[in-house]
Amino acid sequence: MSLPYVAARSCSPPVEANVPKSSHRIWAVPPKTVLAQFDQAKCEALRAILHKPPHVYGKQTSIWTLALASDVCFEQGLTESVVGIETIRQALLRLGVGWQRAKHWITSPDPD
């Protein structure tokens, strides 16, 4: 059995060899999306979680971060696994909530 004409006569590697490996991904299971992780009810539950301080959930901080919100969502059973911060951010955007990094202000101990 002979090789196909193009492969037998070609000295250059096949075109597929020049394509980045990331484009060769074949998903056995489609990637999860924000809609799959957070329906409207779970988005509202996320909002309720974020309306309470983190120390209510046993965290040693007073500032919510997206990663911390992801951890608490998993611990509270809202998600099946720890989701990425982009998933949390997109869920908040679906609720119409913008997310900005907390600003730390220096306060003076002097009462004046």
The span from the first CA to the last CA of the chain, in angstroms, equals: 93
Using DSSP's 3-state secondary structure scheme, residue 8 falls into helix
- Say if 73 falls within a structural domain: yes
Q: What is the pLDDT of residue 22?
A: 53
- Say if 81 falls within a structural domain: yes
59: nearest Cα among 44, 75, 40:
75
d(CA 85, CA 90) in angstroms, rounded, equals 9
- Say if 17 falls within a structural domain: no
How many structural domains comprise the chain? Answer: 1
**Residue pLDDT, tens place only, 57-87:** 999 988 899 999 999 999 999 998 899 998 9
- Say if 87 falls within a structural domain: yes
- Say if 103 falls within a structural domain: no
> What is the extent of the structural domain holding 74?
34-94
Q: What is the pLDDT of residue 50?
A: 92
d(CA 11, CA 104) in angstroms, rounded, equals 62
- Say if 84 falls within a structural domain: yes
